[in-house]
Structure 1
Amino acid sequence: MVYGVSAIRLSCVPSVYRFSQSSFNGARRSSSFSLLLKKDQFSRKIFAQKSSYDSDSSSLTVTASEKVLAPGGQGDGSSSLTGQLESPSTISDDPQVTHDVDGNEMEDDEKVEVEEQESVPSALANNDEEACNEEPSVPLHMKVSTEKSEAKPRSIPPPGAGQKIYEIDPTLLGFREHLDYRYAQYKRMREAIDKYEGGLEVFSRGYEKLGFTRSETGITYREWAPGAKSAALIGDFNNWNPNADIMSQNEFGVWEIFLPNNADGSPPIPHGSRVKIHMETPSGIKDSIPAWIKFSVQAPGEIPYSGIYYDPQEEEKYVFKHPQPKRPKSLRIYESHVGMSSTEPIINTYANFRDDVLPRIKRLGYNAVQIMAIQEHSYYASFGYHVTNFFAPSSRFGTPDDLKSLIDRAHELGLLVLMDIVHSHASNNVLDGLNMFDGTDGHYFHLGSRGHHWMWDSRLFNYESWEVLRFLLSNARWWLEEYKFDGFRFDGVTSMMYTHHGLEVAFTGNYNEYFGFATDVDAVVYLMLVNDMIHGLYPEAVTIGEDVSGMPTFCLPVQDGGVGFDYRLQMAIADKWIEILKCVVIHF
């Protein structure tokens, strides 16, 4: 596997959860304001640009200012999401762009063969009452319909024996107690998910129930916020009236409301309009962006971001035209950041990256592009690693459909698109992100100091939490399913796997450093689950874990007792090369 960085190529539960019927207040009234609508244009046609990446413009219109705020605005040369986004003519006609580079493939020393096992179809969740009586210790369960998956059934192989790692590396036998305990915890979680959620395939589709879901009769909104004392859905659609659409809470801390369609059959919340959840919490009144929001923007003149109800009409949704490329024998990865990819002093766009940068990456001989900073992040200087909205692509670079057209174009060129996904930590931003979402410190994260990364100034997930597992597993699947990403580079995995986060620790290769009390077994089990889900449902997908510790079993199949990654990205090697190159004195 080869990485290209700045022109350098480097080797490289369950009690059972039932949704309650929500309340609906007839006092709600629609507002004529929509963040993405012109003032007098109240049709559902929000984004009038072509779905194809061949379109030469991409416009977003906003009431009053008629633009969406981009960092720095026009004054500093930053690009905006609004107006006409100039898309230079593509250079796909260049014979160099589409030439076959398979002949240049390098030997893949890190390839791991995964033994196929018979799959077991997911069962429906057990009876609610029985599950409540049997094991009340796990906080939450959600019964998700499997109707959508019937046309394309998928299943995940059951856990294996987890013993093959000892054949591969007999040294591990001295740490068998720890490794067998780790695998037992993984199997226990898989069995619980199978029993109470209908399987990992269903469990990883939380976005079909939580957040905003559309039906023929209206819109349902659900949010897990057990610490909130009251909740209401607010936004442009009801003039931000906290008394208009009061939500009801079930016994598992999930707030819910159903909004019926308008009398003319139109959706109760217009596509492109701003939304938030208004909550009375132990920390006071709080307006939060929905945790499962699919798009968010920073409105003109405002500092906090706003959630956007993103649901274009079917004829306006981007339709993928090209199949995903087959996984190559050897990966040559070009690492990139969309916003920083322009030769001009601007924040670049998905459209420009699609038209200008992708053909160049193809000409250089790469067969995969890894894109940083996809998940929405309020703090641009974090390079995308302080995520605030996990299901939303960054609005600085364009719309969700713009990102889809970028990925589709990459697939046409034969390039895999890997997402730099951040599940190791989250932004400590209280206004825009998950931190103190329901007014409590331990909602998505560990309590106290364990829930704070002292060096990164960010929050750390509680991987033992049932709902955190649902959130993160569903998040990984969302990007694969909705945007057709071909895999992930998981950021900061070393920080996840150890309670010391790999800080101020010198890993020498002594196995005692990997298997002991400093290992966060819950986090490792999550990594095993997410690799299980990805490789089971998307066999061609690639998973890369950023680990500088050298954790043994990291790239061995989960069924054999490993963590399940396809590749390890040893960033310390890349950092060392950069350090050496900076110190080299060239004499002419």
Structure 2
Amino acid sequence: MTDPTSLSTEILAILEARHGDPFGFLGRQPQEGGGAIVRTLQPRAHGVTVVARDGSGSWPMKRVHHHGFFTVDLPAEAVDVAYDLELATFNGQAVRQADPYSFGPLLGEQDLYYFCEGTHQRLWDCLGARIRTVEGVAGVQFAVWAPNAQRVSVIGDFNDWDGRINPMRLRIEGGVWEIFLPGIKELTHYKFEVLSAEGYVQVKSDPFAFFGQHGIQTASLVFDLERYTWSDQEWMQKRAAYDLYHKPMSVYEVHLGSWKRVPEDGNRSKSYLELADDLIPYVKSMNFTHIELMPVAEHPFDGSWGYQITGYFAPTSRFGNPDEFRQFVDRCHQAGIGVILDWVPGHFPKDAHGLAKFDGTALYEHADPRQGEHQDWGTLIFNYGRAEVKNFLVANALFWLEQYHIDGLRVDAVASMLYLDYSRKPWAWVPNKYGGRENLEAIDFMRDLNRICYERHPGSTIIAEESTAWPGVSRPTDAGGLGYGFKWNMGWMNDSLHYIQEDPIHRKYHHGEATFSMLYAYDENFILVISHDEVVHGKGSMINKMPGDRWQKFANLRMFYGWMWAHPGKKLVFMGCEFGQWQEWSHERSLDWHLFLGEEHASMQKLVAEMNRLYTTRPALYAQDHDGSGFQWLDASDGENSIFAFMRMAPGGDRVYCVINATPVPRKGYRVGVSEAGEYLELLNTDAPGYAGSGMTNPLPMPAGATAWQGQPMSIVIDLPPLGVVWLGK
């Protein structure tokens, strides 16, 4: 017999939710001399009966504590019988359920080993909340990593959020707590209640939840990811063999919550399904090849734009459920549009329900704030040197690529991960083991991330938002690079925007800023970007960056885009930039679609659509974006007239000639060197009447003459419009 004093002590530990081994005390436990005892805590029941699942017997339990602790001694013949608990609840219901403490360990030793090693590539199959059947019983398996906790319980709708009722089993070999709860259904709300080593209780959302609430309410929701049937097989098959480096890539960056709202319904954001109906046809009509979504992973604060994530495995419930987001991606693919997702492994917020101090210790982050905190952003930095943390991030990237068929990840704030002294005072950082400022652990993480993602998902891409001169960001890891597929070209963006904002009369003094990017254009696989960061925080919208009167502003912006689309590198523009929105972007309101009452905005939109069409159909404009043999200056030195001209080339002979006139002075009879005989056509003129320009165009075919010019054996003569760009081709 168990000593009554000991029994009372252990019951008290259960009632106070501080028992160190609930699976060693609750459920069915063998007794000395044969037989067994069943113990359960059921505060909502006034009576409990143990019922053999095969009908061989039933045994009423005795209430041994007024808070609802029940026990019963089973005879020897019932020691191995599968059983349920039949509860007589205070509201008059009879509830029959399997005993969570009758099930053995759930996670395999191999899963725990690979997790601790940092190499488990399908970690979402193990941790979190998984709907499954165990020993013929349907329910949900919960598992969470909290190695330094004294106790972890699942709390939710099903147990009145009472942390005493479902304490979990600690798998000490992996620091993972687990439990199988029979009868739990999809969309059940839950969290983890964690008793820290210091003895204080905190309530955490599930880091691996597939679905969750946002804002003030932060519960995780059980969700079945096995139900959705994809219809994008053709896209996925083609993607696996797609050579993105030598194909067109024109990206429309979108903040889903503010692209187009519904003013007649409280100015709410559109849902994933409404966006599929509206955004996808729009992007298709504009001839973009990809959509890039600002972060959709669950985040509590709208004002973070999604960059302060608490639910890394859950698309935000603001716009619908996970399967509805899948349908959005699916329909993008069926329309021939790739989907890139902003991904944020550089930092996470301090929200009490999130990853911060998850088990009472600095688990996901560094304990030292000089390593573990971004002072400027008020966020925490992942501990990339910890195997389990690195595994969490790599598995999360793979999760989006696999479970949501995402075509690429744009990795946010890479510079903040590369440098230990990023945005820090000289005394506020810790050097690496060699005394340097490089974050060696983050570098290893990124290299492993890129290598694994490309191995597992050929045809996908990982893009670095990296703003420094770090070498080899988009070079292969085996060549000493970081292994990213592409890098945002922040240098081009800064120089070209500075140039274009100058009054045209002063541009001749800044001509080098317009041409400087070609000195490093092939150092990386670049994407030219005009992103959300360029149209917020007082920087002004793109149209408002332009000098001059209203006509000149639109002409300058058309010229800038014509130059950008012809320049080597893939393209990205933020929503609203394509039609010249006047206001800065705000996440709280819709884009200014009403501007289409004005001709200039519709014409700007028409120009971008036509540039995308030409860009995707003329190999010269994309096939050698990352190869110097695809570009040749015709004239880079005419700073006095603020004119520059170049040729883009592709294997197979396609040529496109681009001439930019960055002043409002028309240049009639401008001679352009060409490489071949034949008749040339004006492919694009940003000053055309259809784009609200002045109409200075070259409508007729232009035969190449024998006059050598600009280093070419032949030439043609064109009229070069004011503040305009002309593309020419055979």
TM over 0.5: yes
Matched to 1:586, the amino acid is: G
Corresponding residue to 1:382 among 290, 301, 304: 304
C-alpha distance in 1, partners of 2:350/2:546?
A: 39
C-alpha distance in 1, partners of 2:359/2:111?
A: 24
2:394 is the alignment partner of 1:457:
no
Give 1:560 shift: 2.1
Corresponding residue to 1:554 among 463, 466, 473: 473
Distance verdict in 2 for CA 1:343–1:243, change over 3 Å: closer
Matched to 1:452, the amino acid is: E
Give 1:143 shift: 1.6
C-alpha distance in 1, partners of 2:496/2:154?
A: 51
Corresponding residue to 1:564 among 475, 483, 490: 483
Residue in structure 1 matched with residue 172 of structure 2 by the alignment: 251
Give 1:566 shift: 0.8
2:556 is the alignment partner of 1:585:
no
C-alpha distance in 2, partners of 1:222/1:415?
A: 36
C-alpha distance in 1, partners of 2:167/2:306?
A: 34
The 3-state SS of whatever aligns with 2:444 is helix
2:343 is the alignment partner of 1:428:
no
Residue in structure 2 matched with residue 335 of structure 1 by the alignment: 253
Task: List runs of 5+ in structure 2 lacking aligned partners.
Answer: 1-20, 28-39, 46-107, 427-433, 502-541, 552-730
Matched to 2:122, the amino acid is: R
Contact 2:130–2:222 (CA<8 Å) still a contact in 1?
Answer: no
Q: Please give the per-residue CA displacement for 1:91-118, whole angstroms capped at 9, x wherever unaligned.
A: xxxxxxxxxxxxxxxxxxxxxxxxxxxx
Corresponding residue to 1:497 among 418, 421, 442: 418
Q: Please give the per-residue CA displacement for 1:306-358, whole angstroms capped at 9, x wherever unaligned.
A: 1111127x6xx321112235344131111111111115433222112111011
Q: Please give the per-residue CA displacement for 1:134-173, whole angstroms capped at 9, x wherever unaligned.
A: xxxxxxx96239xxxxxxxxxxxxxxxxxxxxxxxxxxxx
Corresponding residue to 1:294 among 174, 190, 210: 210
Matched to 1:258, the amino acid is: I
Matched to 1:303, the amino acid is: I
The 3-state SS of whatever aligns with 1:426 is coil
The 3-state SS of whatever aligns with 2:141 is strand
Residue in structure 2 matched with residue 401 of structure 1 by the alignment: 323
Matched to 1:557, the amino acid is: P
Matched to 2:200, the amino acid is: G
Residue in structure 1 matched with residue 132 of structure 2 by the alignment: 215
Corresponding residue to 1:306 among 175, 197, 219: 219
Corresponding residue to 2:399 among 478, 496, 508: 478
C-alpha distance in 2, partners of 1:495/1:366?
A: 30
C-alpha distance in 1, partners of 2:495/2:283?
A: 25
Give 1:532 shift: 0.8
C-alpha distance in 2, partners of 1:294/1:238?
A: 21
Residue in structure 2 matched with residue 100 of structure 1 by the alignment: none
2:331 is the alignment partner of 1:418:
no
Distance verdict in 2 for CA 1:551–1:29, change over 3 Å: farther
The 3-state SS of whatever aligns with 2:133 is coil
- Once the two structures are superposed, the pairs formed by residues 85-100 of structure 1 within 5 Å of their partners are none
Give 1:220 shift: 2.2
2:110 is the alignment partner of 1:143:
yes
2:457 is the alignment partner of 1:538:
yes
Task: List runs of 5+ in structure 1 lacking aligned partners.
Answer: 1-19, 32-140, 146-191, 262-267, 506-514
The 3-state SS of whatever aligns with 1:339 is coil
Matched to 1:449, the amino acid is: R
The 3-state SS of whatever aligns with 1:340 is coil
Contact 1:428–1:435 (CA<8 Å) still a contact in 2?
Answer: yes
Give 1:449 shift: 2.7
C-alpha distance in 2, partners of 1:342/1:21?
A: 52
C-alpha distance in 1, partners of 2:470/2:114?
A: 27
Residue in structure 2 matched with residue 230 of structure 1 by the alignment: 151
Distance verdict in 2 for CA 1:396–1:430, change over 3 Å: same
Aligned residues: percent identity? 26
What TM-score do you get using the length of structure 2 for normalisation?
0.50
The 3-state SS of whatever aligns with 1:409 is helix
Residue in structure 2 matched with residue 178 of structure 1 by the alignment: none
Give 1:373 shift: 2.1
Matched to 1:521, the amino acid is: L
Contact 2:347–2:380 (CA<8 Å) still a contact in 1?
Answer: yes
C-alpha distance in 1, partners of 2:170/2:273?
A: 42
2:490 is the alignment partner of 1:523:
no
Contact 1:213–1:221 (CA<8 Å) still a contact in 2?
Answer: yes
The 3-state SS of whatever aligns with 1:536 is helix
Question: How many aligned residue pairs are there?
Answer: 388
Q: Please give the per-residue CA displacement for 1:522-564, whole angstroms capped at 9, x wherever unaligned.
A: 1011000010111001111111010000211111111222110
Contact 2:294–2:341 (CA<8 Å) still a contact in 1?
Answer: yes
C-alpha distance in 2, partners of 1:386/1:269?
A: 30
Q: CA RMSD in A?
A: 2.9
Matched to 1:540, the amino acid is: G
Distance verdict in 2 for CA 1:334–1:238, change over 3 Å: same
C-alpha distance in 2, partners of 1:411/1:487?
A: 13
Contact 2:130–2:224 (CA<8 Å) still a contact in 1?
Answer: no
Corresponding residue to 1:270 among 165, 185, 196: 185
Contact 2:476–2:483 (CA<8 Å) still a contact in 1?
Answer: yes
Corresponding residue to 1:318 among 213, 228, 250: 228
C-alpha distance in 1, partners of 2:44/2:207?
A: 23
The 3-state SS of whatever aligns with 1:144 is helix
